[in-house]
């Protein structure tokens, strides 16, 4: 794993966007794996800014999002489909038909999990997957204890995740308790992974990722088995590492 240290959230966002833009220019038909949450918002802003000023085109790009809340339709402001439209897709020239987010309102969720996994495979897999990390080490919505062999599946969210994500909802009771997420093996099949880590709240997770053994109890640790991972982390997230080294 390669770690790029940056000063702060803004610099992390700039670097991540530069990284993604370079890949899109090299391969205009790139299959991008995208994440939601607070971490990538700044990166998406930079992509929009670059698109408007320099004209980087996303017309041929296909995207696959990591996850979606079970029970939320795309029109719901807290759904990840809404988030992606609102934070990125509506402001670049991407073909919406090429943007994929698992359905939170499928009639048959088992079928939806298979459909999503197959869709990624039919497209030849993800070229570059953007990831954030939960403070308990979750990636996508793969909570501690998730099998490394998992494919797209339905999960019960950990109470720490529900609490962490309650900030986006009016009240904690509104946070869905289940989600549909790419599995760990789905994520690991990506040819390349870019993990973004920002802020003191994530410093323990980053420390554990780099120092603990690979274990299903800390899902992100699996990334150490991947041949091509780049971490962009800011000083606040790296602080814990400095204390011990
Ligand atoms: C969320 C998402 C993850 C995200 C993580 C961190 O629950 N499912 O994909 O990476 O938790 O979120 P944030 O960036 O808001 O800290």
**pTM, entire model:** 0.96
As to burial, measured by CB atoms within 10 angstroms (0-12 exposed, 13-18 middle, 19+ buried), residue 171 is: exposed
Query: What tokens does 122 get?
Result: 């039919």
Handedness of CA 95, 117, 192, 44 (dihedral sign): positive
Check pocket membership of 199 for ligand 1, CB cut-off 6 A: no
Q: Which atom of ligand 1 is nearest to the CA of 141?
A: 8
Which of 69, 133, 194, 196 to mutate for ligand 1's pocket (most ligand atoms within 8 Å of CB)?
133
Residues of the chain under the 50 pLDDT cut: 245
* Cα 84 to middle of ligand 1, angstroms: 13
66-89 pLDDT per residue, tens: 999 999 999 999 999 999 999 999
Domains and CATH numbers, the chain: 2-238 (3.40.50.1360)
Looking at residue 42, its pLDDT comes to 98
Check pocket membership of 137 for ligand 1, CB cut-off 6 A: no
């Amino acid at each position: 794993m390669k770690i790029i240290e940056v000063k702060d959230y803004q610099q992390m966002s700039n670097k991540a966007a530069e990284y993604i833009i370079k890949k899109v220019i090299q391969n205009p038909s790139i299959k991008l794996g995208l994440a939601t949450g607070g971490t990538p918002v700044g990166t998406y802003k930079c992509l929009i800014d670059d698109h408007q000023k320099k004209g980087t085109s996303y017309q041929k790009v296909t995207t696959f999002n990591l996850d979606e809340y079970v029970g939320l339709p795309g029109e719901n402001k807290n759904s990840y489909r809404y988030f992606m439209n609102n934070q990125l897709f509506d402001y670049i020239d991407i073909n919406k038909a090429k943007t994929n987010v698992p359905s939170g309102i499928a009639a048959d969720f088992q079928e939806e999990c298979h459909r999503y996994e197959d869709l990624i495979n039919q497209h030849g897999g993800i070229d570059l997957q953007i990831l954030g990390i939960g403070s308990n080490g979750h990636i996508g919505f793969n909570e501690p204890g998730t099998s490394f062999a998992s494919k797209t599946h339905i999960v019960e969210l950990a109470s720490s995740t529900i609490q962490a994500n309650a900030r986006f909802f009016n009240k904690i009771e509104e946070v869905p308790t289940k989600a549909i997420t790419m599995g760990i093996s789905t994520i690991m099949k990506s040819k390349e992974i870019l993990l973004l880590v920002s802020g003191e709240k994530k410093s323990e997770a980053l420390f554990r990722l780099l120092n603990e053994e690979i274990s299903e109890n800390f899902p992100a640790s699996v990334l150490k088995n991947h041949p091509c991972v780049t971490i962009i982390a800011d000083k606040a997230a790296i602080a814990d590492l400095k204390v011990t080294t």
